Amino acid sequence: MPAAAPSPTPTSSPSSAAPQAKGPLSGKTVVIDPGHNTGNFKHTSEIDKKVDIGTNLKECDTTGTTTNAGYMEAEFTLDVSRRLRTVLEAKGLKVVLTHEADRAWGPCIDERARIGNEAAADAVVSVHADGVSSGNRGYHIILPAKVKGGAADTAKIVGPSRDLGERIGSNFARTTGSAPANYLGSGTGLVVRDDLGGLNLSTRPKVFIECGNMRDAKDAALLTSPEWRQKAAQGIADGIVGFLGG
């Protein structure tokens, strides 16, 4: 009696899920850097130690500023960063935060840059708020200058970082209703700097956003509003998504 023919091997398991369509954001990573740390105020000796930013030495970190009522910049930056993460993850992006106030102080500025580099981030945004005299209002985006020295070489990121910064700025203005800073940037909301280790040491497209001035009463009223902080996160996210082609 002839042997029975073997059953055909199934080409797919009945329980296997259909492959998901790959969108423009698939597989991309964003690193969000909440500026400062609430614990820095209690660890001034640690954050005062100098680190190498390629072109020179600079303090590991600073305390950041506060509103006149005592709301810390580090509280603001972490809240906005968490909101930003939620929005970006809903778009399918992988999001890494440099810290979540889960450490006593820091990280230092060189470590913040390294986290973005090691994550091979497609975009990195450091979230801040300014602390200048009252009457100075508005947001500004800090872009990396072209610098080379030691471990710093920003030649490859200057162009894409400007694109990222311009997209964030226009979306931030539209979503929050805030105007570009009236005290620097000549009304463009864009400032180029060569003295920030977080930018100098980055090998990935990266910008800082100063969302407003904590020392101005009108800006402080916005920065301390949860509803406004959600708008800020949405505006930054829209800029990032646009930069990444989403």
Kindly name the residue from 46, 89, 210, 227 that is annotated as catalytic. 210
**CB-based contact 60:69 (threshold 8 Å):** no
Does the annotation mark 210 as catalytic? Answer: yes
**CB-based contact 168:236 (threshold 8 Å):** yes
Report the distance separating Cα 172 and Cα 190, nearest Å: 13
Which phi and psi angles does 174 have, rounded to 5°? -65, -40
Q: What are residue 58's DSSP bridge partners?
A: 51
Do you find a cis peptide bond into 14, omega within 30 degrees of 0?
Answer: no
Q: What are residue 94's DSSP bridge partners?
A: 29
**CB-based contact 129:236 (threshold 8 Å):** no
* Residues recognised as catalytic: 210
